[in-house]
Structure 1
């Protein structure tokens, strides 16, 4: 079984000192198994901004700094921001609320929903949890209803129909259940073209401080992966072209929230 030029290129890269992943390619490996491994490697290279080598380099630096006890915040002095905290019902609060209402039509919403509710004793997605017990309204429905209420207010104020977009970041663990929850409930009244589902791919798990990539316990030719954290939401928004689209649609503000 011959390797393609791209596969040969990856084999050479993995064996190089720069990548340092020769352990993934034992000498007695069957070509069909190597191809399965390289499929995972190719996906990992596409998922991380800058590619797999960038991921390995960043990991090595962070792991080395951690081992050496380097404080990434050395030289910084923490300061509690003052900001504004008006009392609910006060004239100041009403003034801020009025200003917010004026900007509703220019707002987009981003829900980070990559987690399961296991630690809460719930076996499925967090946004499927009931927000209260009287009606059993899920958090997903509650969020959508709030956005639709904002949308109605914005439409009345502007005198024309307004749509407030919602982007939802999901993981491999929550994607199917999130899509099903929305489909089974007709998006809780929201138009389908308002919602964008952004799948957060996982990144390779690492074995040691040299950033050697781990493989699955039951298959040495499949890469073990792990979630990469909430910070990926910004990358996903850009990959889906949403900042440009929202700006073109007149949006100026983005509200990020999660369960």
Structure 2
């Protein structure tokens, strides 16, 4: 659609799109409000806006009908599912130490050659967490008071240091951060105010995903205000269009990047540019990989990485019939156990192919939401029940286009503890995230030979099999700048008596080393 600079053309375009109601309050708007609304509509394009609204309504109607006919499960799905074959499935827990070391060395080699980048999906708002700012800025209450962004930045610095030391090079890991209209400004300001956590500013690349209008069940774009559409990010699968729109793939190619580790902002235990995962995927010649955790129980509400009719995808837990979810292998493990944690590996070539060829084919998923709106007389209404549709694409829906897909299973207590809900919810809260990290660091310190003492100098009894769900007997936080994943701690902690709480930052580590 050509730019629309005046009201008649604007009205004509919206009329063709079936969205004339969007100018209902035009006469009441100030000039600046008119200009902002016109710019939004211009950016969307009348034709594309109309197609988006029709697609949303049609998708809603189709899924409602399919759900009624199938009783919640796609017909015949049980006979079409297959787990990831063993030859394309790696596992931390079931691999020999020498194999893990080989994969880690390969990953560190690729990092040392400047071929690895990390890409953060950070476009969502912290609505469920109950904060008005991006999740990455959240402080879960660690002794250091570090935010998620700071922990991740320091892990990037440390893994680059490890790779450089091992291969005698100076290297860096570029950090690409996909934001949205809601999170871009605060995230930019946060990084600027914290001096990019001592990463080079040029190596922290922020870009913005698209926003799409929320739509009523009958296909009308929703007004959030008299001169403003209700908009929402296009889901983490909006990544692929955003990569193209913002010329991120060209930037990666210019830097010599070949492999990209993609993850979600809310996992406090995420291993940035995980050398073991990267090395596994590279060793297997994979173009696409998914890091997974073993499902805790058959009905755990987590999507499962598997194939349907020979095509890899994530099948939502609600779509898997109970008899399939409960199937077990001879060793007693669940057959469909690969729980998706939104942690992926892609080659640059694969991402380029998706952006250039397959992105339009990605399925749009429905999110049924309570969307605030203005009524016919201009009063803003906060609905008590869902009234609108938000269309999203999912980052994992590109698995189907992979020519060599692999899955890599990691230990949940070591690598996955998401922050989604506010306290006092039962799971995925600041409390559970903090406990997961402190439990992990306690296990690392214990393995390194530390002996914890209380404030009175009395020994604190050890717990030998501490899980991520338990409060550790001693409080210990280890800076990522000291240890990326528990490595090299013996020089600081072996046979040392340390007082709880212990914050092992660089200065404290050096003091312990010399003690």
TM-score range (shorter-chain normalised) is 0.7 to 0.9
Alignment of 1:32-181 (within 5 A): 35-36=34-35, 37-45=37-45, 51-69=48-66, 77-81=80-84, 82=86, 83-87=89-93, 90-104=97-111, 105-130=114-139, 133-157=142-166, 159-181=168-190
Q: List runs of 5+ in structure 2 lacking aligned partners.
A: 267-515
Contact 1:112 1:257 in 2 (8 A): yes
Looking at structure 2, the residues matched to 159 and 153 of structure 1 have their Cα atoms a distance apart, in angstroms, of 10
Q: Return the offset for 1:158.
A: 5.3
Larger fraction in strand: 2
Report the TM-score, using the length of structure 2 for normalisation: 0.43
RMSD of the alignment, in Å? 3.2
- The answer to whether structure 1 residue 15 and structure 2 residue 15 are counterparts is yes
Looking at structure 1, the residues matched to 241 and 174 of structure 2 have their Cα atoms a distance apart, in angstroms, of 18
Q: Deviations over 1:101-156 (max 9, x none)?
A: 12223111111122344533545321122366121121111111111222223444
Contact 1:109 1:165 in 2 (8 A): yes
Contact 2:124 2:183 in 1 (8 A): yes
Tell me: CA distance 1:15–1:31, structure 2 relative to 1, closer, same or farther (3 Å).
Answer: farther
Q: Which has the larger radius of gyration?
A: 2
Looking at structure 1, the residues matched to 132 and 19 of structure 2 have their Cα atoms a distance apart, in angstroms, of 36
Larger fraction in helix: 1
The residue number in structure 2 matching 1:191 is 200
Q: Deviations over 1:59-92 (max 9, x none)?
A: 2331231232268966662333241103377222
Looking at structure 1, the residues matched to 238 and 4 of structure 2 have their Cα atoms a distance apart, in angstroms, of 32
Tell me: CA distance 1:181–1:69, structure 2 relative to 1, closer, same or farther (3 Å).
Answer: same
Report the TM-score, using the length of structure 1 for normalisation: 0.80
How many residue pairs get matched? Answer: 248
Q: List runs of 5+ in structure 1 lacking aligned partners.
A: none
SS at structure 1 position matched to 2:90: coil
